[in-house]
Amino acid sequence: MKAFARAYAAIDETMRTNEKVQAMVEYFKVAEPADAAWAVYFLSGGRPKRLIPVRRLAAWAMEEANVPEWLFAECYDAVGDLAETMSLLLPDASSTVDVPLHRWISERLLPLATQSESEQRASVVKSWRELGGAERFIWNKLITGGFRIGVSQQLVVRALSQVTGVAEGVIAHRLSGTWLPEPRSFVALSAAETEDADVSRPYPFFLAYALEEEVDALGAPDEWQAEWKWDGIRAQVIRRDGRTFIWTRGEELVTDRYPEIAAAADFLPDGTVLDGEIMPWKEGRALPFAQLQRRIGRKSLGGSILSEVPVVLIAYDLLEREGRDVRAEPLARRRELLEGTISAARTTVFVPSPRVAFASWDEARAMYARSREELAEGLMLKRHDSAYGVGRRKGGWWKWKVQPFTVDAVMIYAQAGHGRRASLHTDYTFAVWDDGALVPFAKAYSGLTDKEIRELDRWIRANTVEKFGPVRHVKPVHVFELGFEGIQPSPRHKSGVAVRFPRILRWRTDKRPEDADTLATLRGLMSDAGVIPSEAPKALVIPSGGPKGRSRGIALLPEEGGHPESPGEGSSLSRPRALSRDDEDPSLRSG
């Protein structure tokens, strides 16, 4: 554990990507495979299923530290991280032992899942008393999940590639799917042989950057293919050895969730991997994303939901054909193979992503302007000669997204941020007018410059009307233009609407609070988006670990717009989410 704590500190204490990678390289070089396997798992964002409710964990820490709850809450507010708050408050360790990381995990961490509350408590408290400051922090992080030290799976892959001499793409492939943190899995990462046995393994998704320049800068229009950018769930459908696997971009195995697609995959030849978007689709047209959300998170899919919200795979690409990796072939060739494969399967569930014809960039712009009518988020532009790469690369693929919905709203609550932004108020709640009152409807975290954040922070401190724990109710003065990707009815919110991926676009210092928009405006947007308010779903579950995956277990106020935890499923270990969770950042959702 000490070696891992040192590696953690070395990664954490530099802001430079190369030095972070270097620190991982140093660790992987000397670590036992059993330890290294777990390090890979955790550094790439893997986390055990919630082992202990954080509220309970915090209560034990309060007792051990002899700190009352109100004072613990003040400390948490100042520190901004639960695992760290507990580490800082607990008394210094009485004895420090150095047990390897993998034994901490196999002997202490994983057993927590099946222990009674009193056994859990005894085990956790014993660990606290045995671990020094840095290791105790890591231990708490292991329990609560999520390191967040500026390391993505991509960086872990780079470090592993440097240590093993195996190409990054191969490492990334080997890590995807159901990679288990076992010594032999770690050793297998460095194997020279690249024909890996795991039939379920997806390829790393190729992602596009957002187009920021004028589209004309891309050169000759005839070198490019355009498709609608669909707002569904990006997924790979794998057919190998007579078995089917459906993986999402969040690297979740969802084969059972989409029985229509799984059934159709029986008609694909062995050794086929399709990349596409799972879309709610009826009578040749897309349904709004909100409809798909009715299916997500349901434990059982009854017959009615399957007929109300059928799905298809809008297929973008073919990655594997007849067992051969064809990602390096040019897009034009892959497209040809894709169409051939799908037509041979004779199914309507796989739909080659419709290509949008255009002869000039002006025509492309005209099509782009129609995106909302098609229920698309814009266009994807891909060079005909582009390979299917790994991760996010510039050049061959671009996403050209339509502007989000926007409203002007008034800030009414503020809360300090977390991690880097603890002690600055960076989390804001916004409201719109309804019948002379301000109704909160969205929380947004990003979109302001550091300078604006500091300025607003000073204003917030000076204009607090009331404090509820860490939440400050501020004077309704400042108007912000918020952008969001989608809107739908929600009985869980006071406003009756839920918006997707809200973010601050601009601080409207030119507007007075009375100039802000109204709830009626939001309802109007909802009907524009094809969601009819009266058809509110009974229970809306947004698949997510909460905003930014925060372990905000002891928040003193219910969070407006907070998301419920996704229901657990499958094994006690969930997949690393390092290539970003779908809910974290709208720009990562698709494409």
Partner 1 sequence: MTLLRLAAQGLYCEAGDFYIDPWQGVERAVITHAHGDHARWGSARYLCSREGESVLRTRLGPSATIRAVNWGEAVDVNGVRVSLHPAGHILGSAQIRVEYRGEVWVASGDYKTDPDPTCTPFELVRCDTFITESTFGLPVYRWTPDAEVFDDIQRWWRANREHGRTSVLFGYALGKAQRLLAGLADADIGPVYTHGAVERLNRDYRRGGVRLAETQYASGMPARHDFAGSLVVAPPSAAGSTWMRRFGQISTGFASGWMRVRGMRRRRAIDRGFVLSDHVDWPSLLAAVEATGAGRVWVTHGTREPLVRWLTERGIEARAIASQWKGEEDTDPVEVAGEEISA
Catalytic residues: 229
Q: Are 495 and 526 in contact (CB under 8 A)?
A: no
Of 43 and 312, nearer to partner 1 (C-beta) is 43
For 286-310, give the DSSP string: EPPHHHHHHHTT-SS--HHHHHHS-
Among residues 219, 419, 491, 524, the one that binds partner 1 under rule CB under 8 A:
419
Q: Provide the token pair at 337.
A: 């193979």
Cβ atoms < 10 Å from Cβ of 70 = 10
Among residues 26, 64, 74, 363, the one that binds partner 1 under rule CB under 8 A:
74
Burial class (CB in 10 A: 0-12, 13-18, 19+), 369: exposed
Residue 172 interacts with partner 1 (CB under 8 A): yes or no: no
CA angle 245, 586, 315 (to 5 degrees): 35
What is the C-alpha separation between 472 and 494, in angstroms, rounded? Answer: 19
Query: Which of 74-82, 123-131, 241-249, 360-368 is the region at the interface with partner 1 (rule: CB under 8 A)?
Result: 74-82
Of 27 and 430, nearer to partner 1 (C-beta) is 27
Tell me, what amino acid is at 456?
A: L
Among residues 8, 33, 85, 407, the one that binds partner 1 under rule CB under 8 A:
85
Query: Which of 30-38, 68-76, 95-103, 346-354 is the region at the interface with partner 1 (rule: CB under 8 A)?
Result: 68-76
Among residues 31, 159, 292, 424, the one that binds partner 1 under rule CB under 8 A:
424
Tell me, what amino acid is at 452?
A: E
Give the binding-site size for partner 1 (rule: CB under 8 A): 27
Long-range contacts of 159-162 (CB under 8 A, 24+ apart): 159/21, 159/22, 159/24, 159/25, 159/28, 160/28, 160/40, 160/189, 160/190, 162/21, 162/25
Short-list 269, 369, 376, 254, CA closest to 314: 376
Supply the minimum distance, in Å, between the C-beta of residue 16 and partner 1: 9
Residue 422 interacts with partner 1 (CB under 8 A): yes or no: yes
Of 68 and 491, nearer to partner 1 (C-beta) is 68
Identify the bridge partners of residue 479 per DSSP, sorted by sequence position: 410
Residue 81 interacts with partner 1 (CB under 8 A): yes or no: yes
Residue 15 interacts with partner 1 (CB under 8 A): yes or no: yes
Strands 391-401 and 206-210: parallel
Residue 79 interacts with partner 1 (CB under 8 A): yes or no: yes
Among residues 25, 59, 75, 305, the one that binds partner 1 under rule CB under 8 A:
75
Residue 555 interacts with partner 1 (CB under 8 A): yes or no: no
SS3 427: strand
Strands 350-352 and 311-321: parallel
SS3 324: strand
What is the C-alpha separation between 50 and 109, in angstroms, rounded? Answer: 11
What is the C-alpha separation between 302 and 259, in angstroms, rounded? Answer: 11
Whose structure tokens read 């960086």? 155
Residue 71 interacts with partner 1 (CB under 8 A): yes or no: yes
Query: Which of 224-232, 419-427, 468-476, 548-556 is the region at the interface with partner 1 (rule: CB under 8 A)?
Result: 419-427
Q: H/E/C letters for each residue in 456-506?
A: HHHHHHHCEEEEECCEEEECCCCEEEEEECEEEECCCCCCCEEEECCEEEE
Supply the minimum distance, in Å, between the C-beta of residue 392 and partner 1: 24
What is the C-alpha separation between 469 and 70, in angstroms, rounded? Answer: 9
Supply the minimum distance, in Å, between the C-beta of residue 178 and partner 1: 33
Q: Provide the token pair at 52.
A: 């202990």
Residue 420 interacts with partner 1 (CB under 8 A): yes or no: yes
Of 70 and 468, nearer to partner 1 (C-beta) is 70
What is the C-alpha separation between 231 and 493, in angstroms, rounded? Answer: 23
Among residues 5, 23, 36, 65, the one that binds partner 1 under rule CB under 8 A:
65
Residues 427-466 that bind partner 1 (CB under 8 A): 454, 457
Supply the minimum distance, in Å, between the C-beta of residue 457 and partner 1: 8
Supply the minimum distance, in Å, between the C-beta of residue 108 and partner 1: 23
Residue 468 interacts with partner 1 (CB under 8 A): yes or no: no
Residue 113 interacts with partner 1 (CB under 8 A): yes or no: no
Supply the minimum distance, in Å, between the C-beta of residue 62 and partner 1: 11
Supply the minimum distance, in Å, between the C-beta of residue 19 and partner 1: 9
Supply the minimum distance, in Å, between the C-beta of residue 54 and partner 1: 17
Query: Which of 23-31, 104-112, 242-250, 415-423 is the region at the interface with partner 1 (rule: CB under 8 A)?
Result: 415-423
SS3 84: helix
Q: Are 122 and 116 in contact (CB under 8 A)?
A: no
Of 10 and 573, nearer to partner 1 (C-beta) is 10
Residue 359 interacts with partner 1 (CB under 8 A): yes or no: no
Among residues 80, 232, 250, 561, the one that binds partner 1 under rule CB under 8 A:
80
Query: Which of 49-57, 64-72, 280-288, 302-310 is the region at the interface with partner 1 (rule: CB under 8 A)?
Result: 64-72
Residues 192-221 that bind partner 1 (CB under 8 A): none
Residue 13 interacts with partner 1 (CB under 8 A): yes or no: yes
Q: Are 80 and 88 in contact (CB under 8 A)?
A: no
Among residues 114, 194, 423, 446, the one that binds partner 1 under rule CB under 8 A:
423
Query: Which of 62-70, 223-231, 301-309, 515-523 is the region at the interface with partner 1 (rule: CB under 8 A)?
Result: 62-70
Supply the minimum distance, in Å, between the C-beta of residue 76 and partner 1: 9
Distance of CA 70 to the CA centre of its chain: 32
What is the C-alpha separation between 273 and 337, in angstroms, rounded? Answer: 12
Helices 33-43 and 17-30, packing angle to 10 deg? 150
Residue 134 interacts with partner 1 (CB under 8 A): yes or no: no
Among residues 3, 12, 473, 564, the one that binds partner 1 under rule CB under 8 A:
12
What is the C-alpha separation between 310 and 91, in angstroms, rounded? Answer: 56
Chain positions contacting partner 1, by CB under 8 A: 12-15, 65, 67, 70-71, 74-75, 78-81, 84-85, 88-89, 418-424, 454, 457
